[in-house]
Amino acid sequence: MKTFLILCSLFLFASCNTIDIVPLINKDYSITDAESTKVDYEEKKNVSYGDNELQKYDLYLPKNQTDKVPVIVMFHGGGWSEGDKGFINPMVDYFRQKNVKCAIVNANYRLTFQKGITYREQLADIGLLLKKLQNEAKSLNITPKFFLMGISSGAHLALLYAYSSDSNKLVEVVGGIAAPIDLTSTSLRKDRMNTDIIKLIGKPFEGNIEEYRNASPYFQIKRASPPTILFYGGSDNLVPANQGTLIHGKLTELDINQEYYFYPEQSHDWSKLSETLDKMIVFADKYL
């Protein structure tokens, strides 16, 4: 049986160009039910994984499953400095409507408006969360490996964690919508986004380029990085389209399994949530 976890995002699109280089994989487990059997979920709200008030998550566990189920983990956006897991509750609702046979985790994490919080602390939060779920895998009847997914800043954190050196043992699949990829890019570091990135790093760009590279998923990708599914919009005024072009090119160069979707008319305010999540589910089902 394969495994998985999603950390995810909100909305989607109109017209698009699609590049799919993912081969089909034979496996003996599916997160979807061919007969559309209804799945009931046990809800656990505001579970703590640390001492900070923001280190909490909601958990939705399929009931009466004989097999251990994979895990979807989702991270909200908000410029790393604001936002809440409640913003992406529509995603939780959609997964439940689709009767996915997996645990669903919707997580908060510490934000940069709090003193001393940078991307390093936010990555540590993801590690704490996954470790807690891993330690409780037997009692929760879950597989202790994950598909991480997020939107905007949440997608950035999901990708950065998934591409970091020690995370591949846990993260099997990663996905994101409108993810900032290269924090050294001048086209990304503008206006509000520049202010948010400086707070995320804790230092100005000048004289600290290496730190900005360390915080950029683009510079952390390796040949062993997990399969990746990404969505970008051509009318996004916060995360420019070249961020998607960059990561798609790097994933292609390293021959990493991926799906990359570019929607010319899509802004940062994503739409058509159901279409996005359907693609996420199909992708996850190929690799977990």
Give yes or no for a contact between 232 and 202, defined as CB atoms under 8 angstroms apart. Answer: no
Average pLDDT in the 272-288 region? 90
Residue ranges of domains in the chain: 17-180+222-287
Write down the pLDDT at residue 273.
Answer: 82
- For 17-180+222-287, CATH number out of 3.40.50.1950, 1.50.10.100, 3.40.50.920, 3.40.50.1820 equals 3.40.50.1820
Q: 19-23, 100-104, 198-202, 273-277: lowest mean pLDDT where? A: 19-23
Distance CA 160, CA 187 (A): 20
Q: For 9-49, what is each residue's pLDDT tens digit? A: 333 333 344 443 333 344 567 888 655 578 999 999 999 99
- In the prediction, which pLDDT does 172 show? 92
Least confident of 28-42, 110-124, 169-183: 28-42
Q: Are strands 103-107 and 69-75 parallel, antiparallel or unpaired?
A: parallel
**Is 0.85 topped by the overall pTM?**
yes
Q: Are 150 and 156 in contact (CB under 8 A)?
A: yes
Q: Please give the angle made by the CA atoms of 143, 146 and 148, to the nearest 5 degrees.
A: 155
Virtual CA dihedral for 201, 202, 207, 211, nearest 10 degrees? -30
More confident position, 174 or 17? 174
* Buried-exposed string 104-131: b where 16+ CB fall within 10 A, e elsewhere: bbbbbbbbbeeeebbbebbbbbbbebbe
Q: Grade residue 145 by pLDDT with cuts at 50, 70 and 90.
A: confident
Q: Determine which helix (DSSP H) or strand (DSSP E) holds 273, and give its type and residue range.
A: helix 273-287
Q: What pLDDT is stored for residue 9 in this prediction?
A: 39
The residue with tokens 């809800």 is: 43
> How many Cβ atoms from other residues are within 10 Å of residue 14's Cβ?
12
